[in-house]
Amino acid sequence: MDGRIRNLARTMAGYCLSAQSKEVFAINGTTAAEPLIEALNEELLRKGAWPLVRIVPDGSADAVFRCGQDHHLDEVSPAEKALVKTLAGTAYIYSSRNTRAMTSVEPELQARMAKASRPLKDQLLKKKWTLTLFPTEAYAQDAEMSLRDFEDFVYAATFSDEEDPVKAWNALRKKQDKLIRKLEGAETVRIVGPGTDLTLNIGGRTFINSPGVHNMPSGEVFTGPVESSAEGEIAYDFPVVNQGREIDGIRLVFKDGEVVEASASKNEDFLLRMLDMDPGARRLGELGIGTNFKIQRFIKNILFDEKIGGTVHLALGASYPETGGKNKSGLHWDMIKDLRKGGELYVDGKCIQKDGVFLKSWFNPE
């Protein structure tokens, strides 16, 4: 087995999940991820935990929409409800062999399921959890890379190619703590770039350090903007892949915190339908600042793309309550603004980042 897979499994069991003896952890993934599932199962056993391996056939994600009935979309399985009470935490391993499997599923059906499952997801988020990606040909093709190059990319981004990945994640945690201390007490954030001049209020909100405990990889600090504060426009540089669809050329105009104009050069109809999912879908739930400078290329996967050093991302929809955010929605949709080519990031009128490079007094990636 590739030693980097072993490193990633050890990081997930010990650093991400902090697994303890007799705790129960679900491991969720497809058959494509068997090497990592096997390694994580072994690492959890070494910790004395009870692993519950849940491998699903690859390509079965759309089965409930093809074969299910109304209650499958509007309710949560009693078995899932019972399982959540038992779990100490969950490891999710993205491992699709077809990243467009959900393309033909109507957005309204996906929205119904998202709304029904939200309370259960909220319960799981209060427990230990982590998610990562196992390299497959499908992800490599999306990234326009060979599988071998994509594997190298993934294991570098997760620090799994280092002798001591946990040491590297703890070092990033300390740097992000310093950035958060500088952001404490700030009132406004302004994002400027091609087609973009957007101002947000973050007064009274809390920035959260994301050093790879939940998202693996990570490398970001994030908060929830004041829900009524977004003013201006933003043009996103990268396409968004959501539920098997690629939406490109997204432009949003905000007034009093709400999207009042929206357009896209590709799949605009899908964008508009998602914005009409519920009242909270047109407001921002998150502002994130990417700090993982080992990730420098866009691969059409939000787990990695939102962490790119030199970018910011804004999520439409649900806020994270721990930030002080209050927005509620069945949607949480991250969109990325690349500041590395002509972009600037201001905090209370002071430029802290230009062309994707932080002032050293704010964040030093070295």
> Is residue 154, in this structure, part of any structural domain at all?
yes
Mean pLDDT of the region 23-51: 97
| Together in a domain, 180 and 111 | no
Is residue 37 scored above 80 in pLDDT? yes
Looking up tokens 């050069």, which residue turns up?
Answer: 265
**216-238: pLDDT as tens digits:** 999 999 999 999 999 999 999 89
Quote the mean pLDDT of the chain. 94
| Together in a domain, 158 and 172 | no
Looking at 121, 144, 163, which one is the last position of a domain?
163
> Is residue 100, in this structure, part of any structural domain at all?
yes
Q: Which residues pair with 314 in a beta bridge?
A: 287, 335
Range 348-357, long-range pairs (CB < 8 A, 24+ positions): 348/186, 348/187, 348/188, 349/188, 349/190, 352/182, 353/310, 355/310, 356/309, 356/310, 356/311, 357/310
Looking at 108, 129, 163, which one is the last position of a domain?
163
Instruction: Judge whether 277 and 331 are in contact, CB under 8 Å.
Output: yes
Looking at 137, 163, 189, which one is the last position of a domain?
163
Mean pLDDT of the region 269-294: 95
Q: Residue 298 — very low, low, confident or very high, per pLDDT cuts 50/70/90?
A: very high
Instruction: Judge whether 220 and 287 are in contact, CB under 8 Å.
Output: no
Quote the CA–CA distance of 328 and 267 in Å, as a whole number: 25
| Together in a domain, 240 and 330 | yes
> Is residue 212, in this structure, part of any structural domain at all?
yes
Quote the CA–CA distance of 195 and 233 in Å, as a whole number: 7
Count of the separate structural domains present in the chain: 2
pLDDT at residue 60, as a whole number:
77
CATH of the domain at 12: 3.40.1830.10
Closest CA to 88 of 167, 162, 21, 10: 21
> Is residue 202, in this structure, part of any structural domain at all?
yes
Closest CA to 227 of 313, 347, 325: 325
Sheet holding 24-30, edge to edge: 50-56, 24-30, 89-94, 128-133
The 10 Å Cβ neighbour count of residue 167 is: 11
| Together in a domain, 117 and 177 | no
Is residue 335 scored above 90 in pLDDT? yes
> Is residue 191, in this structure, part of any structural domain at all?
yes
Longest dimension (CA), the chain: 56
Segments forming the whole domain that contains residue 143 = 3-163
> Is residue 277, in this structure, part of any structural domain at all?
yes
β-pairing verdict for 89-94 and 245-247: unpaired
| Together in a domain, 221 and 278 | yes
Q: Tell me the whole-structure pTM to 2 decimals.
A: 0.87
| Together in a domain, 187 and 214 | yes
| Together in a domain, 120 and 251 | no
